[in-house]
Amino acid sequence: MSDFSQWSLRSELVEAIASQGITEPTPIQQASLADILAGADVLAQAKTGSGKTLAFALGILSGLDAPSGVQALVLCPTRELADQVTQAIRKVAVRLPNVKVSAFYGGIPVRVHVESLVHEPAIVVGTPGRILELIETGALKLDAMKTLVLDEADRMLDMGFEPAIQTIQKALPKKRQTLLFSATFPDAVRALSKSYQRDPKEILLDTDTRSEHIEQLFFEVPISRKADALLHLLGQLQPAQALVFCNTKIDCQQVEQHLAKAGFDVCALHGDLEQRDRDEAMVRFQNGSVRVLVATDVAARGLDVSDLPLVISYELAHQADVHVHRVGRTGRAGKDGRALALVASSEIGRVKAVEEQMSLTAQWQRIDLSAIKLAPLKADWKTLVIDAGRKDKLRPGDILGALTGKQQIAATQVGKIALFDTRAYVALHKNVADKALQLLRQDKIKGRSFRVRLLSPAV
């Protein structure tokens, strides 16, 4: 019996999450679900990776009753997050018949979204800007909705979405449930809660990221030597994977190039990339075909990796709470983590702010930059792209079948399969990647041939 049986959740929901291996609620789920299910307004703060999505997904899906009309709206700060939340809700809803969950965000013509709204989804997930546009054009009608979720509220405020949220809110029924989730709890989030929630239950869990199992170290490195220092640290530590944070898109690109030239399997993730390139960077990191991801803070928000051993700040964040977020990406679920920061002398002042915010004394270490040993991080996996996806009714099982059907490739040599509307990404062990390409080109998938190719390294 799962621990989720303490609440009277529909068996379809409990079974769906059990099939994802989820049987024990996380602390935030344990603390918030009773109130969420009772229809109360809830203000929940818990650090990144603590399972907030499932808490509200279960709430929304338990409350679905009307046969039509949008019943829940989830606002998220970025398109990546909107996609991720959409997928997470869909996974929980798989055993419920006909629950349409749709994501809406910028970068896609409004017309496409307006057309898709002809068939109203039960649950709408999106970024505030695009949701507002859809409300204003009259395409999105929210008068029947029952639950509003403000996810990653702190980030939405940082990104200047307050006015959009304010206007959206006016289009919503007064009588509704409002759930607010945030990784941090600055005054601005409290103010947001005051304006949109009614007598909310407050659940504030420990934001302390100074957990025993995260080792945080600072290295003083001149700006001109940072790229080499990074090579050195990655080579020495040989982490399974690492997330490198840069403050600017240009730094992201340069660091990616530097690491790629040194032979690393690396990708960059930042806001200047096309949506498709962003998807690809995330997929490649998540499926292990890239060992290092170099990202800006905003772009990395959408990234869900549960088991990240190393985070490096190429430059210290300008704000201490952003640094806390970075550190919080490692050492999840009780695993060991390391958070390193390369600090130029001009950034020393920011270390003070971090020390205050996290109540710690920075531990400094030296790097001997005269003896850099190169040991690039190479991935065991490659990513194959198929130019067909959900819209072509392609399923992961079809792809796996086509790859393993002739017994030339074992199921264990096929990794994660990520399905998008018009594309599918398949991780393959590097020893069988070429074979896989050949098989899919020859043998077709479900009797149809699609374009397939392997993604190449960054340089």
Q: Binding residues for ligand ADP, per CB under 6 A?
A: 22, 24-26, 29, 46, 48-54, 304, 306
295/402 with CB nearer Mg ion: 295
- Give dist(CA 81, CA 152) in Å, integer: 9
311/384 with CB nearer ligand ADP: 311
CB atoms within 10 A of CB 295: 28
Phi, psi of 123 (to 5 degrees): -130, 130
50/330 with CB nearer ligand ADP: 50
| CB of residue 30 to ligand ADP, shortest distance in Å | 9
- Give dist(CA 162, CA 333) in Å, integer: 32
Helix (H, G, I), strand (E, B) or coil at 102: strand
260 binds, among ligand ADP, Mg ion, none (CB under 5 to 8 A by kind): none
* Range 52-71, binding Mg ion (CB under 5 A): 52
Which residues are CB-contacts of 171 (< 8 A; sequence separation ≥ 6)? 135, 142
Two tokens, residue 210: 């100074």
51 binds, among Mg ion, ligand ADP, none (CB under 5 to 8 A by kind): ligand ADP
- Max Cα distance, the chain (Å): 68
* String of contacts with Mg ion for each residue 178-217, x by CB under 5 A: ----------------------------------------
89/386 with CB nearer ligand ADP: 89
For Cα atoms 446, 447, 450, give the angle at the middle one, nearest 5 degrees: 85
* String of contacts with Mg ion for each residue 6-45, x by CB under 5 A: ----------------------------------------
Buried b (16+ CB within 10 A) or exposed e, 196-224: bbeebbebebebebebeebebebbbbeee
| CB of residue 219 to ligand ADP, shortest distance in Å | 28
26/383 with CB nearer ligand ADP: 26
| CB of residue 284 to ligand ADP, shortest distance in Å | 18
- To which residue do tokens 């390193």 refer? 340
| CB of residue 48 to Mg ion, shortest distance in Å | 7
Interface residues with Mg ion (CB under 5 A) are: 52
